[in-house]
Structure 1
């Protein structure tokens, strides 16, 4: 009897521990069709600017209400979702607000007069308070500065920051994050003078937040995840879709897969700039919108996540090229790809094989076997090692397997996603310089309406970050692209640290930030 009772008590204890360790919550993202001024570079009064932003905020009100009705405890809105696009540095000024630090303990909805000229903050606070939901939104922050005392102060005497703000479910401002990695956004916005690592606690888990281009970078993203242990990442973005490689959903899923975290990402939907694709990704969870940029309907996504995700620890280094490139010889070609990038590639022949290709200082290899191969489709293994300086700085290296245009193998810059071939087994490996390595995988599925959709199939492949190996023998659908991507970085010198508020950490680095791959092409003047 004692032993039986002991077992029962032990079982109850284990159940209790499991319940405590498990924290599930419904989260939401809204993919917003942004409303921008008719002439964004025109002069606006503050009231005129606010009226334009109110058009977007009114949509946020309805979507937050809908998300809360579905049980969501937090909702994320996209980058540029309030201010809109195409402003100049001067024309955007009346759209900006001087956002205080979260440490001031302020609820704008309850105390709107405490900080002047903060109508947008008040609206967001009231959305959170009314619907009892955490709100993550993107807006513009303005800070005056003195060039005599601040060496990084812009010439016009003011900082303009691309900024995420977070409100708790009572409407209190609890976090503010200034974007670090800019792409085609200057001089509209200035990068944060020092990297900021912003995260906050909720009753249902700890969350951090970043913006678009930050996603593939060591600073701040990998530091936020590895040093501060953030396991749930809230992303606001304005990412373009350039098939077959640049698909926002690939980036979100790749980040979640690489770091064993949850990624909750809201993207803009914009036909002119081909922006679409929001998603919620985590262990056993893959919920996303489509990347059909011709569809101009907003999309609300709600999904349940387990927020207590074990920390896998930080991996270091990747497999170097060494003398690898001298051991194998097969016919390779050189060509141009999207954005004028140079690439070297080899053709995958037959139903199975092993192929190698090298470009500058990197090499790639793939072992493959087709389950079904359409003989009219040409697949290649490509290698890219490129440093870009305009309109941003990035040193990227990647290995990719994808279908090439049968009409022009030289360029392979098609945007057709009609792939029929299915791989039974594919093992792709990259030999890179030291950097941040991600898997990017997408397959094609037919939905109930018979239309083709792009899915990430995170559970259908494995990723070895240290050896930069992507492997799958479980794919059941045609492969759009498989990529092992590396953002090269150098270890930066740490010069000091400061902390101005609980859960908001700022480290000062002497850095030349590497900018991310061509994800968030915001068109500004």
Structure 2
């Protein structure tokens, strides 16, 4: 099922295929009442999917794709392009020697029943950092058009989700707010027109991906084809579930 703004079905289905290096066949029972609208055939290199809109007919749609035989991923290798930095001192390879980003006013808002710390993205471009406790996320971004209509925020979360299950999370997320007031940040937004280049987050197929030996995932993406609704790095911390 879809749960905006962070867990739209085709978004996390494709992300799972990419990160785990597996072919994923996702066939949802199409049911608008249960917010089930997305199906697809996903590989780490491609995605063939159908994502229905509200009001579309509920009959099925046949998807056909040729999928490759996958080889096991080797640890490391490739190019680093996106990261969620913590107090460990880890940094993106092109900015390790750069000064830390300036501080911006933060605010607290609920997103998917979790309490996030947010910073507004109200500059033409920026390099910002937001922390939730000792867990920090850093974002480098640039709006493709200076005059954009929507309000956006960059949020961080490190904690235990307790609604419809209990599990520990670490999340860095860029989201389109539902309105033009910061209190709407974290609420569902289904459409957006604003386009940006961003580093450390991705929505479409990323330009490159690396999983480091210590488990960190790095990604990069630019030239988004459509308006950005959400871009997130959503991590499950299984060993912290019972704390």
Shorter-chain TM band: 0.7 to 0.9
Structure with the larger helix share: 1
User: How far 1:285 moved relative to its partner?
Assistant: 3.1
Alpha-carbon contact 1:334-1:342 (below 8 Å) kept: no
Alpha-carbon contact 1:330-1:356 (below 8 Å) kept: yes
Residue 352 in 1 paired to residue 101 in 2? no
Alpha-carbon contact 2:157-2:169 (below 8 Å) kept: yes
Residue 275 in 1 paired to residue 24 in 2? no
Structure 1 gap ranges (5+): 1-238, 430-439, 442-456, 492-511, 515-525
Q: Name the SS for the 1:387 alignment partner.
A: strand
User: How far 1:478 moved relative to its partner?
Assistant: 1.7
Larger displacement relative to structure 2 (349-358 or 331-340): 331-340
TM-score normalised according to structure 2 size: 0.79
Q: Which structure ranks higher in relative contact order (CA pairs < 8 Å, sequence separation ≥ 6)? A: 2
CA RMSD of the aligned region, Å? Answer: 2.9
* Alignment counterpart, residue 488 of structure 1, candidates 212, 218, 237: 237
User: How far 1:349 moved relative to its partner?
Assistant: 2.8
Alpha-carbon contact 1:374-1:420 (below 8 Å) kept: no
Residue 427 in 1 paired to residue 231 in 2? no
Any residues of structure 2 matched to 1:117-516 within 5 Å, and which? 239=1, 241-313=2-74, 320-322=86-88, 327-423=100-196, 425-428=197-200, 441=203, 457-458=204-205, 460-466=206-212, 467-490=216-239
How many angstroms apart in 1 are the aligned matches of 2:190 and 2:63? 27
Alpha-carbon contact 2:23-2:43 (below 8 Å) kept: yes
User: How far 1:260 moved relative to its partner?
Assistant: 2.7
Alpha-carbon contact 1:355-1:366 (below 8 Å) kept: yes
Which has more radius of gyration? 1
Any residues of structure 2 matched to 1:82-93 within 5 Å, and which? none
Cα deviation code 1:186-213 (max 9, x no counterpart): xxxxxxxxxxxxxxxxxxxxxxxxxxxx
Q: Name the SS for the 1:479 alignment partner.
A: coil
How many angstroms apart in 2 are the aligned matches of 1:483 and 1:461? 15
Count of residues in Structure 1 that have an aligned counterpart in Structure 2: 225
User: How far 1:287 moved relative to its partner?
Assistant: 1.5
Q: Name the SS for the 1:258 alignment partner.
A: helix
User: How far 1:288 moved relative to its partner?
Assistant: 1.3
User: How far 1:308 moved relative to its partner?
Assistant: 1.1
Query: Aligned in 2, Cα 1:373/1:405: closer, same or farther, shift over 3 Å?
Result: farther
Structure 2 gap ranges (5+): 77-83, 91-99
How many angstroms apart in 2 are the aligned matches of 1:291 and 1:360? 38
Query: Aligned in 2, Cα 1:344/1:319: closer, same or farther, shift over 3 Å?
Result: closer
How many angstroms apart in 1 are the aligned matches of 2:29 and 2:164? 21
